[in-house]
Amino acid sequence: MVQLVSRTASVPPKGRQAEFPRQLVHRSDPEDVFPTGWTRQTDTQFSVSARWPSAHRFFAPVAGRYQDPLLIAETMRQTTMLLAHAEFDVPVGDQFVMWELGYISSPERLALDAHPEHPDHPDGSWDITVDVACSRIKRRGRGLGAMSLELLLHRSGTRIATGGGRISCTSAKAYERLRGNRRAGTGALVPLLPSVAPREAGRDSERDVVLAPTPRQGLWRLRLDTGHPTLFGRPNDHVPGVLLLEAARQAANAVRPGRAFLPVSLEAAFLRYVELDRPCWIEAWIVPADTRSTTRVHVRATQDGETVFTSTLDSPDRTEEAQGIRS
């Protein structure tokens, strides 16, 4: 295992965030781009600078008091894509599979009033540094076949979260062969299912809800809005991983009704592509946690009778005092 060393990125952000090369993080809208620059420390260690906005159309504060923990997961994902393209020479047209992703944080590290004496920016946005160590690097010819990553996110010298992931890369031609006629459905509209009540899913807006109701408690059908500006930030021929993570978070909210679910830790496994044109079922249930003050929820997604995604999320029970879900 490679030891992570916390340090501040030695290269300032390359211009304004809106000018960051969005294709390197697989985002089309500047509002959804969080990295702002990067620097190489060694051949396998890097520091990435990022900025979390004070307000975002999707990754909004939870209970009006905490940064959205899924900002951690999305920053990790974008950091991984960035380094694969910029430092490991993966062509922009190649495809990634994120097989595993996980992080651990805590409420006090995500509190909006953290470091009030040293605000990052007048608008309340946070400057984040992500220290990354890459290991188990497998080459595909001269390109990248797969690698594992450990990540440490910190702000003003304070650790926010630690995490890791595992990816593999597929060339554009190999992906075309793998997906076949599925590629023809890229960007196609999918019939929009009815949603559960937004508050049940921990959201304010119905447009952000990714669960459709079923007669069975603890079971939902995945609800897809392929026009959603963040969850479908660019045309895709399968369900994006960020949407599956959001489905897990919303299911966790739904099985613990009336209390804001703050996923301060998360483990996820992406087992197969989730197709857009076939029903995908989301099931969630509460499981024993490590401490009495924590609620742990396990989520499973199935399609065509096979498990395609699993996730386990932890939330501290003390967030239950919050009456609202999002600010």
pLDDT at 249 over 70: yes
User: What gap in Å lies between CA 103 and CA 77, rounded to an integer?
Assistant: 11
The answer to whether the CB of 295 falls within 8 A of the CB of 289 is yes
Q: List, for residues 151-183, the tens digit of each pLDDT value.
A: 999 998 899 999 999 999 998 888 888 887 776
How would you class 16 by CB atoms within 10 Å of its CB: exposed for 0-12, middle for 13-18, buried for 19 or more? exposed
- Among residues 22, 34, 134, the alpha carbon closest in space to that of 84 is found at 134
Strand pairing of 126-140 and 265-270? unpaired
Per-residue pLDDT at 179: 85
Share of the chain above pLDDT 70, in %: 88
pLDDT at 250 over 80: yes
The answer to whether the CB of 126 falls within 8 A of the CB of 184 is no
Element (H, E) at 14: none
Per-residue pLDDT at 183: 65
Q: List, for residues 33-71, the tens digit of each pLDDT value.
A: 999 999 999 999 999 999 999 889 999 999 889 999 999
User: What gap in Å lies between CA 115 and CA 240, rounded to an integer?
Assistant: 34
Per-residue pLDDT at 260: 86
- The structure's pTM equals 0.90
Q: What is the mean pLDDT of residues 290-317?
A: 95
The answer to whether the CB of 54 falls within 8 A of the CB of 71 is no
Q: List, for residues 213-245, the tens digit of each pLDDT value.
A: 999 999 999 999 999 999 998 888 899 999 999
Per-residue pLDDT at 326: 57
Of the pLDDT bands very low, low, confident and very high (cuts 50, 70, 90), residue 135 is very high
Per-residue pLDDT at 17: 41
Q: CA dist 234 to 107, 227, 238, Å?
A: 32, 9, 11
Type of residue at 122: P
Helices and strands (DSSP H and E) totals, the chain:
5, 12
User: What gap in Å lies between CA 144 and CA 138, rounded to an integer?
Assistant: 6
Per-residue pLDDT at 178: 85
Per-residue pLDDT at 115: 65
State the average pLDDT for the chain: 88
CB within 8 A of 12, min separation 6: which ones?
Answer: 37, 49
Per-residue pLDDT at 290: 86
